[in-house]
Amino acid sequence: MLAALLLASAASTAAPPPGDTNAALLGAEIALERGDCRNASQAYVDAIRQSSDLRVVARAAEVTLDCAQFALADQVVTRWRALAPDDTSAILAGVLAQLGRYRIVAARAPFQQWLRAVDDNEAIVDGIDQLVDRSGVDVTLALLRGLHDTRLATQPVLTRLADLAVDGWDLRLALQYAARARQAGAVPLAVAATEARANAGLGQEEAALAAARLAATGKDQPLAVPEALLILGRDAEAEAELQRLGQQPQLGTMVERRLGLLAFARSDYRAADRHFRRLLTDENSVAVAVYYLAMMAERGGDDESALRGYELLVETTLEGVARRRVAAIYYRDGEQRQALRLLAAGDQASISERVMAELSVAGLLADEGSVAEGVARLEAALQNYPAHPELAYQRAVLLERGDGAAAIAALEMLARERGDDMSIANALGFTLADHGKDLPRAERLIRSALQAQPDNPAVLDSMGWVLYRRGQAREALPYLQRAFRLFRDGEIGSHLGEVLWQSGRRDEARAVWQQALAADPDNKHLLEVARRFVPELSPPRPPQFNPANDTAV
């Protein structure tokens, strides 16, 4: 009877009567166990109206933020700040509540108040890391970009901001932060790896390699030079440099792993197999080696060997991604229910794990041709996690696979709700361009995203694609070529190849498609585009290997 009363309490959104705070809290936790973030968040908001216990209020903030119920989180923060005006955790929670709704300008005042309250370099860096973990790189960088505060002008903070700008695809800003960090007292080595990545991404070869050579003199970045060469698109030189570095015993396993990944990315499966088998005796590399060996078995049609490999990854850091591969194999083999059960969140799963499980199930359904079921799954999840940014965005992405008009409508709604979110602006602009609708507006949307993330391959790809759709193939090519150099994604490769083909550069188009198919052989859009122009093109498949002697059969 008590459980039934608590469940009824959790399902209610009415404020609890005086003295019934504990029942509301118990009901909220039961709702959370059921994955019902909507009612759990509301129950916590109701509970804190009757409570001045800061532990309860802090828990209410944690739940509403984890559940992405940012409007309710705002109410909780207001209560928290009323009870403890100078609590830095409360102030930072207020920043997160604003960033969750992509209200960048509104988040700046509480963030600067938080800076004044902590006024300690280590605490500021830790706080920035919290914002990145909870809100993401792009929105955190948008908050910090252009802020002129002396507390952000110290060497440790500027060094962290330089790394953040690289991760947020604003490479010139990263170089500015790095230069300011050196002016503030950072030794050149402290920012050399960041400067190498930024300069390489910008195609500034001499500066990139000089910074990479400096970074490689430290103990943390021994592969800085080959990594810079890879970003510059000089793959053969990068591999030669890795081979040279591999002669140093202390770098052997690190180099072996990188060479294996390179071989796998270009579908040189014999070489990849050789590198990864050498790593099976290294405890720090064995999980990665097993995963890629299983991937090669799966790509070669040997599902039995692939499953054995993936099952070895239980209780490793790769368990989640291996579980998704196993589910895909089961689904293809007609064991759909078992596949979906495998991806379902466990009873003790956290909120983020539950959301990830829903995204994984929806993605699997869509990948296997059941797009409508995938969309329905996300719509059901949104009942428990209303307006959750990732669920809502992925719903729009899946809609685009089957109904362009519905996808545009969904993205238009998200753009109205999250006006500062440049990922939505880019997605909407690209979708409009891809469907040939309102191309001038599509270009404006993408250009606004490009201002925020000028070096993001996805946005560069969108910019090239909308220009191509507007009949400006020559202007489109530099954007697409740079995007593909930075990220050899199947979709970017499909776009670049098509523009090259239609520009009369057909040998170059074939080469791009072959590179893209090697890196992303399961990309259905890439396969469709490449075969439309060159029917004989197909992704390379691994040979069958005999585990007894490691030779191809």
User: Helical H runs in 145-204?
Assistant: 155-167, 171-183, 188-201
* The pLDDT value given to residue 544: 67
How many Å apart are CA 271 and CA 75, to the nearest integer? 57
How many Å apart are CA 124 and CA 126, to the nearest integer? 5
* The pLDDT value given to residue 458: 97
How many Å apart are CA 269 and CA 527, to the nearest integer? 20
How many Å apart are CA 28 and CA 38, to the nearest integer? 10
Of 170, 103, 166, the closest CA to residue 459 belongs to 170
Locate 85 and state its tokens: 């005006």
Query: Is 542 a member of any domain?
Result: no
- Provide mean pLDDT across the span 170-196: 97
Quick check: 203 pLDDT over 60?
Answer: yes
Task: Check: CB of residue 426 under 8 Å from CB of residue 462.
Answer: yes
Which residues span the domain enclosing 193? 153-232
* The pLDDT value given to residue 403: 86
* The pLDDT value given to residue 16: 42
pLDDT digits (tens, 9 = 90+) for 98-144: 999 999 999 999 999 999 999 799 999 999 999 999 999 999 999 99
Quick check: 240 pLDDT over 90?
Answer: yes
Locate 54 and state its tokens: 């800061």
User: Helical H runs in 266-332?
Assistant: 269-278, 286-299, 303-311, 319-332
pLDDT digits (tens, 9 = 90+) for 37-94: 999 999 999 989 888 899 999 999 999 999 999 999 999 999 999 999 999 999 999 9
- The total of structural domains in the chain comes to 1
Quick check: 11 pLDDT over 70?
Answer: no
Query: 147-151, 321-325, 360-364 — which is least confidently predicted?
Result: 147-151
Mean pLDDT of the chain: 91
Is 1 exposed, middle or buried, given 0-12, 13-18 or 19+ CB atoms closer than 10 A?
exposed
Query: Is 320 a member of any domain?
Result: no
Locate 125 and state its tokens: 């860096």
Task: Check: CB of residue 160 under 8 Å from CB of residue 125.
Answer: yes
pLDDT digits (tens, 9 = 90+) for 393-418: 999 999 998 888 999 999 999 999 98
**Phi (first) and psi of residue 97, to 5 degrees:** -65, -40
- Provide mean pLDDT across the span 484-489: 94
CB-CB neighbours of 507 under 10 Å: 9
Whether the CA torsion 105, 109, 114, 119 is positive or negative: it is: positive
* Residues paired with 551 in a beta bridge: 546
Quick check: 548 pLDDT over 80?
Answer: no
- Band of pLDDT at residue 551, cut at 50, 70 and 90: very low
Which value, to the nearest 10 degrees, does the dihedral of the CA atoms of residues 109, 111, 112, 116 take?
130
* The pLDDT value given to residue 68: 95
Encode 341-406 in three state secondary structure: HHHCCCCCCCHHHHHHHHHHHHHHHHHCCCHHHHHHHHHHHHHHCCCCHHHHHHHHHHHHHHCHHH
Interior/surface letters 111-132, b for 16+ CB within 10 angstroms, e for the rest: bbebbeebeeeeebbebbeebb
* The pLDDT value given to residue 5: 29
Query: 148-152, 166-170, 259-263 — which is least confidently predicted?
Result: 148-152
Task: Check: CB of residue 147 under 8 Å from CB of residue 157.
Answer: no
How many Å apart are CA 279 and CA 277, to the nearest integer? 5
Query: Is 166 a member of any domain?
Result: yes
Query: Is 529 a member of any domain?
Result: no
- Band of pLDDT at residue 10, cut at 50, 70 and 90: very low
CB-CB neighbours of 52 under 10 Å: 11
- Provide mean pLDDT across the span 230-257: 95
Query: Is 113 a member of any domain?
Result: no
Encode 453-507 in three state secondary structure: CCCCHHHHHHHHHHHHHCCCHHHHHHHHHHHHHHCCCHHHHHHHHHHHHHCCCHH
Give the CA angle between residues 169, 459, 465 to the nearest 5°: 155
Quick check: 492 pLDDT over 90?
Answer: yes
* The pLDDT value given to residue 542: 83
* The pLDDT value given to residue 20: 67
Task: Check: CB of residue 493 under 8 Å from CB of residue 516.
Answer: yes
* The pLDDT value given to residue 545: 55
Quick check: 383 pLDDT over 70?
Answer: yes
Quick check: 553 pLDDT over 70?
Answer: no
- End-to-end CA separation in angstroms for the chain: 66
Query: Is 213 a member of any domain?
Result: yes
pLDDT digits (tens, 9 = 90+) for 297-337: 999 999 999 999 999 999 999 999 999 999 999 999 999 99
Locate 291 and state its tokens: 């995963």
Query: Is 202 a member of any domain?
Result: yes
Query: Is 410 a member of any domain?
Result: no
Give the CA angle between residues 479, 258, 266 to the nearest 5°: 55
* The pLDDT value given to residue 460: 98
Task: Check: CB of residue 349 under 8 Å from CB of residue 357.
Answer: yes
